[in-house]
Amino acid sequence: MRRYAAPVIFLLPATCLIVAFFLAPVVTTLYLSLTDISVITFQNPQWVGMGNYATLLRDQFIGRIVLNTARYVVLTLLFNVGMGLVLALLSSSVHQRWGDQLRAVWLLPRILPPVVYVLIWQGLAREAPYGLIGTITGSSTSWITAAPWAVIVLANGLVGASFGMLIFTSAIRAIPADLFYASAVDGATTLQTVRRVVLPLLRWPIMFVTAYQTLSLLTSFEYILLLTDGGPGFYTTTVWSLHAYKLALSQYFGNVEFGLGAAMAAVLVVIGIVVSVAYLRIFNFRALVAEPKIEVN
Amino acid sequence: MKGIRVRLKGLAKHFGRVVALRTLDLDVRAGEMVAFLGPSGCGKTTTLLMIAGIYQPTAGEIYFGERRVEHLHPRDRDVGMVFQSYALYPHLTIFDNIAFPLTLKKIAPAEVARRVRQIADLLGIAHTLDRRPGQVSGGQQQRAALARALVKEPQVLLLDEPLSNLDAQIRVQARGEIRRLQQEIGVTSILVTHDQSEALAMADRVAVFSTGELQQFAPPDELYRRPANTFVARFVGYPPMNLLEGRYEPGAFVLDDLRIPVPPGHPAGRGWLGFRPEDATLDGDVPGRVTVAEALGRENLVTLRIGPAEVKVLVPQGRRPAPGTPARLGYRREHVHFFDASGRRVGA
Ligand SMILES: Nc1ncnc2c1ncn2[C@@H]1O[C@H](COP(=O)(O)OP(=O)(O)OP(=O)(O)O)[C@@H](O)[C@H]1O
Ligand SMILES: [Mg+2]
């Protein structure tokens, strides 16, 4: 008994937090998704089994929403991770003073409230006379309607890339200078050093940023909501989480369907788990995790 | 393969206001092994990194043969280097580490494998090839780093304290191995070390540095027999040479009220008198008193106070005077060293 005391004591606080703030909401969501709870049936929800899921499958726009979601997550992720890497590499290869300034500039959008940030985007990208670019070029097209995906990915990416940038920069800084010297003496060009030495050593941070941002992108919709509200037109840029939000919390006639929204959220949880496991596989997680540094016995 | 002559002309390196290397002229013969010996922070690594092409010199020229190279990228210089930290790539196996320079040259995989195995066999690490650097011992890492530096058959080999992370026993063994290999291949080599016995044992010639400046560049026995100044005299040889500061008068060296007779050839006025502990005896005529007597195994090291100074004398094992006993210092006149007031050697 004694030998299990230490591990149990160490694990208990984290376990409590996970149960209270992670497991309990998931279970609640799963439960709600099996009922017809809505504003109307709030007092007395009925058990509907897989009914909500069947409704989702029958929805004629669901295919489009899935495609939109995939497009949103993949494009933004590519931009975020790719740009984060480029920024980290660039800002670590110039003089530190310039590097710090480059990174500081990229962090600016992150400290703006999202609503203000989106207002700035609208001020840039809308048609004349509302948008700056439109006004200067005298164009009457709004970029937000003409190229909604480009605007959404850029608006997300300009904020999101700085996350990867910070993580990758500190990871690059942690690589001993001798490795860069050795690689140069061994005959590598800068690009070869990046590809064959730096990137492999960044495998763990890259996986972390990719997984983390995939999950947050799957559930984030605030920029889309504020920029296009899922439009222009019918469901052009509506993603899964935005749809769930609208069904569950902000329907037109006030008939918000918690049950259906919960079903959509439950699907996201499953997708999140599947994607995480896939990443662990792809990046060969087991090889990344060293033997435990502290042995408990 | 034969090494190439390496010449440094007026080489200097400043980091902002820090002067890492003041100015260095050095001519290393083809196939020679030269050791850079000096205390910590004297600019040895900096010099090596300039030769490798990692650092741009602030001033000066570097020649490989007749070719000026200081503007060339490291990959165009044909040097191999072993870093003090070994700098093995932690994500690659020992095989891939050694193969790294070859794969960058677009050499066919079969040829790469053949050359990696050959050098690994030569260095006795063939059985570690499929492990990663973290999974082999320090000595094996050191050999892997040496193998990676040698596998592309460079014209110049740079070794930055390659042995300082090894324990004493492996160190002496690795010393001999590296030297043998270097002579076999004939690659021009520069070895950085602050261990004088390593420098004296391995190198054809030794360049002794103090802060940012070359003090003497000579074969080991000459460094020992004819140190160019008091810095080298103190730095090379163990136990270090006795150096007394005083005044020369005709036929004698005067230390307060002590007169030590000296042979001809000495400077005039203020200066230094040097003699090694092994060239000193307790059977002379300069009065003194024993303060410490340490057993070194084969010999005893006796510290003697004479006038205002302390000198060390090596005596045979049988003789170990107790502290406090009077003794009379003597020294072999033919092995005396004279230095002027600025510390420079005077006479032969
Ligand atoms: N990148 C750098 N920026 C600023 N100063 C440096 C830099 N590299 C070295 N120096 C300074 O230059 C001097 C020489 O350093 P160097 O590394 O060449 O010494 P070293 O002889 O190799 O010493 P050690 O035996 O401790 O390795 C030191 O005073 C050091 O602080
Ligand atoms: Mg050094």
Among the residue ranges A125-139, A220-234, B82-96, B110-124, the one predicted with the least confidence is: A125-139
Distance from CA of A287 to the nearest CA of B (A): 11
Instruction: Name, of A49-53, A117-121, A271-275, B154-158, the range with top average pLDDT.
Output: B154-158
What backbone torsions phi and psi does residue B56 show, to the nearest 5 degrees? -85, 130
Contacts of A192 in chain B (CB under 8 A): 104
> What is the distance of C-alpha A150 from the center of its chain?
17
- Judge residue A213's burial from the number of C-beta atoms within 10 Å of its C-beta, 0-12 exposed, 13-18 middle, 19 or more buried: buried
Is residue A51 over pLDDT 90?
Answer: no
Which residue among B37, B45, B165 has the greatest number of ligand 1 atoms within 8 angstroms of its CB, and so is best to mutate? B45
CB-based contact B75 A184, cutoff 8 Å = yes
Answer yes or no: are the C-beta atoms of A214 and A279 closer than 8 Å. yes
CB-nearest partner of A186 from B90, B91, B100: B100
pLDDT band at B333 (very low <50, low <70, confident <90, very high): confident
Domains of chain B in start order, with CATH, are 6-230 (3.40.50.300), 240-346 (2.40.50.140)
pLDDT of residue B68: 94
Q: What are phi and psi of A93, to 5 degrees?
A: -100, -10
How does pLDDT run across A88-121, given as a tens digit for each residue?
888 888 787 888 888 888 888 788 887 887 788 7
Distance, CA of B41 to chain centre:
14
Q: Which range (B15-29, B214-228, B258-272) has the least confidence?
A: B258-272
Closest CB to A184 among B54, B80, B88: B54
Q: Residue for token digits 């070869």?
A: A192
pLDDT at residue A249 tops 80: no
Average pLDDT over all residues of chain A: 80
Dump pLDDT digits (tens) for A164-186: 888 998 999 899 999 999 999 99
List B21's β-bridge partners, or say none. Answer: B13
SS3 A174: coil
Q: Ligand 1 centroid to B209 CA: how many Å? A: 13
The model scores a pTM over 0.90: no
- Note the pLDDT of residue A178: 92
**Class of residue B247 by CB neighbours under 10 A (exposed 0-12, middle 13-18, buried 19+):** middle
* Chain B interface includes A196 (CB < 8 A): yes
For the segment B304-311, the average pLDDT, to the nearest whole number, is: 90
Res A254 pLDDT > 60: no
Which residues in chain B have their CB less than 8 angstroms from residue A188's CB? Answer: 75, 100, 104
Written as one string, the DSSP assignment of A65-91 is HHHHHHHHHHHHHHHHHHHHHHHHHHH
Q: Is A295 on the interface with B (CB under 8 A)?
A: no
- Single out the residue of B217, B147, B220, B143 nearest to residue B185, CA to CA: B147
Q: Are B55 and B46 in contact (CB under 8 A)?
A: yes
Tell me the domains of chain A and their CATH numbers: 33-289 (1.10.3720.10)
Instruction: Give me the percent of chain A exceeding a pLDDT of 70.
Output: 85
Residues 19-48 of A with CB under 8 A from B: none
Contacts of B143 (CB under 8 A, 6+ apart): B123, B124, B125, B174
For A124-128, B143-147, B257-261, B316-320, which range has the lowest pLDDT when averaged over its residues?
Answer: A124-128
Give the atom of ligand 1 at the shortest distance from the alpha carbon of B209: 21
According to the model, what pLDDT value does residue A127 have?
66
Separation of alpha carbons A180 and A174, rounded Å? 12
Q: Is A146 on the interface with B (CB under 8 A)?
A: no
Confidence class for position A294, pLDDT limits 50, 70, 90 = low
pLDDT score of A287: 61
